[in-house]
Structure 1
Amino acid sequence: MKVKIHTLFQYLLETTEADPEAIVGFSLSQSPKLGEFLEALDPELPLDWNGKSFRGLPRLRDHVLRETGLAGICDPDDVLITAGAAEANYLAIMQLLAPDDEIVIETPGWPQAEVLAKAVGSKIRHIVRRDDDGWRFPMERLAELVNERTKIIFVTNPNNPTGQRFSEDDLMALVEQAKRVGAWLIVDEVYAGLEWEGSRSSSIAGMYEKGITTGSVSKALGLQGLRTGWLICRNREFVMDAIILRENSSEIMNIMGEVIAEVAMRPERYRAAINKARSDGLANLAQLDAFVGEEPRLSWVRPSAGLIGLARIEARIDGDAFAKRLLADPYRTFLLPGSAYGQPQHIRIGVGGGAEVNLELGLSRVSDLLTRVE
């Protein structure tokens, strides 16, 4: 099995040392500083594993169940703390998927599942969201794709990268299609908690015995560097299989990630952090929405959740070339081309990062370059 690099990661590798002055489309909330947690940390904390459970700190797992709305539905032992949602997705997909299986993946969507499925050699069936249809998930198409060979249905909610959401009826329809053939249903919820319209969606682990919820503190709380996430599933055999697979990769969770994440997810701190992230995001979203509305060479479907969205760029403009020219002097502004998500006629823009990303400066430079490209 060889894991091949994805276009998104390739672009990030190529541009790591660019040192941009502004970022348009930062994908996580403004990150807090370590000093904000020092008073809550024990200087005598042993820098070994947590010493309590291979599933992660019990209090942290309790916090996860509370914030995902699964307290009282799922048990703490249904939760496995992982090295971010990326490891949670990895453990689920690599433990479940075999070469003779099929996996249904939305596009555009988070590319990890497709990278892993290709490495396994499984058949991939795409369900396509289109911007001229509001990036809607075509549920009617799902019934045509799912069959007795379907092992996994993998989606994101809110959708990464379009910011669109599943309704409760949509989630029930996903469950019905998965149940029909006995497939596993993985829903990556890394942007949950940042809904601009309505309340947080139900987590799939509480709706279906073979439903797997994955998430992390990376996006909404801006704690990407902790590498702390989770998977939740009521199938105990699956969770133990994931623990065994993790034993042969990251082995056990990093204690600093667990401890700081537990502090960050304490009810009073979590609520304050989410409220700030939502307030900052909504302000930036209003600015971004107005910007797109005034740019004749851009259009988009406004995200209903999350920190990023895809904007369509005028057909004559090459999205990749535009992003690379924008990153170079004199603009020095970073954004991801839509080709990272299989959408070459789009660019990724967004509202994360707080004041440090210099969004207003970045938008002015995007506007200037749009007037100059042919």
Structure 2
Amino acid sequence: MKVKIHTLFQYLLETTDAEPEAIVGFSLSGSPVLGDYLDALDPKLSLDWNNRDFRGLPELRSHVLSQAGLHGRCRTEDVLITAGAAEANYLAIMQLLQPGDEIVIETPGWPQAEVLAKAIGAKIVKVTRQESDGWHLPLDRLRDAVSERTRMIFVTNPNNPTGDLLSAAQLDELVDIASGVGAWLLVDEVYAGLEWDGPRAPSVAGLYEKGITTGSVSKALGLQGLRTGWMICRDAALIMDAVILRENSSEIMNIMGEVIAEIALRPARYQPAMKKARKEGAANLAEMNAWVDSQPGLTWVPPRAGLIGLARLPAGIDSDSFARLLLQEPYRTFLLPGSAYDQPDHIRLGVGGGAEVNLHKGLDRVGEALKNWGAS
């Protein structure tokens, strides 16, 4: 089994040393600094693992259930702390999929499931979200896509990268589709809590015995560097299988990630942090909407949740060429081409990152590059 690089990661690798002066498309909230947590850290904390539970600190797992609204539906034993949502997705997919199994995925969507499924030798069935339909997940076509051979359905909610949001009723329908063929339903919730249009959707781990919820502190809280996420599932065998696989890869969590994440998810800190993230995200989204409206030929469906969305470029502009042009003088601005999500006529716009990403400056420069495209 060889895992091949995806277009998204390839572009990030190739542009790491670009040193842009502005970023348009930042995918997480402004990041706190270590000093924000020093008052709650024990200077005598051992830098060994937590010495309490291979599944993660019990109090951290309890906080995870609280923020997902799963207390009473799931137990702390149903939570496994992982190195971000990416590891949680990896552990579930690698333990559940076998060569020849079918996995149903959305497109555009987070590419990890497709990359891993190809490496395993599973059959990939794609269900396409249409821009003309507001990027909504077409549940009727998804129902037609599943079969008795479907082992897993993988979606993101809120959707990464369009920002569409499944409602509680739509999630119930998705559960009905999965349960009808006995498939696992994995829902990546990394942007949950940043809803602009509608309430937070229920977590699938509380709706379905074979439902798997994954998430992290990376996006809404801006704590990507902690590499701390989780998997929630009521199937005890799956959680144990994930523990066993992780024993042969990362083995255990890093104690600093666990401890700081536990502090960040304490209600007294979590609620103000989320309020701040929503306030800043909403303000940046309003600025982004106004800017898109002012650009001739540029259109987008504003995200209903999360910090990113896809904008359609004016006719004749290739997203890869445009993104690389932006990295050069005089623009020095980073954004992700839509080709990373199989949408070559689009660019990814984002409203995260705080003041340090210089969003306003970046938008001005992207506007100049669009205006000057023909001359360049």
* Pairwise same-fold verdict (TM > 0.5): yes
Cα deviation, 1:316-360, whole Å, max 9, x if unaligned, reads 111110000001111000000000000000000010001000000
Determine helix, strand or coil for the equivalent of 1:126. Answer: strand
The separation in 1 between residues aligned to 2:251 and 2:236, in whole angstroms, is: 19
Cα deviation, 1:291-340, whole Å, max 9, x if unaligned, reads 00111121000111000000000121111100000011110000000000
The separation in 1 between residues aligned to 2:155 and 2:301, in whole angstroms, is: 19
1:179-198 matched pairs, under 5 angstroms: 179-198=179-198
Partner of 2:49: 49
Contact 1:280–1:354 (CA<8 Å) still a contact in 2?
Answer: yes
Determine helix, strand or coil for the equivalent of 1:153. Answer: strand
Determine helix, strand or coil for the equivalent of 2:368. Answer: helix
The separation in 2 between residues aligned to 1:135 and 1:314, in whole angstroms, is: 19
Partner of 1:126: 126
Determine helix, strand or coil for the equivalent of 2:196. Answer: coil
Q: Which runs of 5+ in 1 are unaligned?
A: none
Cα displacement (A) at 1:198 = 2.2
The separation in 2 between residues aligned to 1:285 and 1:61, in whole angstroms, is: 32
Contact 1:129–1:138 (CA<8 Å) still a contact in 2?
Answer: yes
Determine helix, strand or coil for the equivalent of 2:287. Answer: helix
How many residues are matched?
A: 374
Give the counterpart letter for 2:150 in structure 1. T
Give the counterpart letter for 2:275 in structure 1. N
1:225 has 2:225 as partner: yes
> TM-score of the superposition, structure 1-length normalised?
0.99
1:151-166 matched pairs, under 5 angstroms: 151-166=151-166
1:263 has 2:263 as partner: yes
Partner of 1:109: 109
1:303 has 2:306 as partner: no
Cα displacement (A) at 1:274 = 0.4
Partner of 1:71: 71
The separation in 1 between residues aligned to 2:70 and 2:311, in whole angstroms, is: 34
The separation in 2 between residues aligned to 1:324 and 1:273, in whole angstroms, is: 34
Determine helix, strand or coil for the equivalent of 2:158. Answer: coil
Partner of 1:216: 216
Partner of 1:326: 326
The separation in 2 between residues aligned to 1:180 and 1:201, in whole angstroms, is: 21
Partner of 1:291: 291
Cα deviation, 1:171-196, whole Å, max 9, x if unaligned, reads 01110110011000000000001001
Contact 1:48–1:255 (CA<8 Å) still a contact in 2?
Answer: yes
The separation in 2 between residues aligned to 1:344 and 1:130, in whole angstroms, is: 14
Give the counterpart letter for 2:205 in structure 1. A
The separation in 2 between residues aligned to 1:324 and 1:357, in whole angstroms, is: 18
Partner of 1:278: 278
Partner of 2:355: 355
The separation in 1 between residues aligned to 2:253 and 2:338, in whole angstroms, is: 34
Contact 1:297–1:370 (CA<8 Å) still a contact in 2?
Answer: no
The separation in 2 between residues aligned to 1:312 and 1:237, in whole angstroms, is: 44
Give the counterpart letter for 1:327 in structure 2. L
Partner of 1:314: 314
Determine helix, strand or coil for the equivalent of 2:99. Answer: coil
> TM-score of the superposition, structure 2-length normalised?
0.99
Q: Which runs of 4+ in 1 moved over 6 A?
A: none
Partner of 2:242: 242
The separation in 2 between residues aligned to 1:104 and 1:315, in whole angstroms, is: 32
Give the counterpart letter for 2:224 in structure 1. Q
Cα deviation, 1:111-163, whole Å, max 9, x if unaligned, reads 00000000001000000001111101111101111001100000000000000
Cα displacement (A) at 1:89 = 0.1
Determine helix, strand or coil for the equivalent of 2:66. Answer: helix
The separation in 2 between residues aligned to 1:241 and 1:143, in whole angstroms, is: 28
Partner of 1:40: 40
Give the counterpart letter for 1:325 in structure 2. L
Cα RMSD after superposing both structures: 0.5
Determine helix, strand or coil for the equivalent of 1:219. Answer: coil
The separation in 1 between residues aligned to 2:25 and 2:295, in whole angstroms, is: 17
Cα deviation, 1:25-53, whole Å, max 9, x if unaligned, reads 10000000000101100011110110110
Determine helix, strand or coil for the equivalent of 1:50. Answer: coil
Contact 1:175–1:207 (CA<8 Å) still a contact in 2?
Answer: yes
Partner of 2:6: 6
The separation in 2 between residues aligned to 1:125 and 1:342, in whole angstroms, is: 15
The separation in 1 between residues aligned to 2:314 and 2:118, in whole angstroms, is: 32
1:205 has 2:205 as partner: yes
Give the counterpart letter for 1:174 in structure 2. L
Give the counterpart letter for 2:99 in structure 1. P
The separation in 1 between residues aligned to 2:369 and 2:72, in whole angstroms, is: 53
The separation in 1 between residues aligned to 2:136 and 2:314, in whole angstroms, is: 21
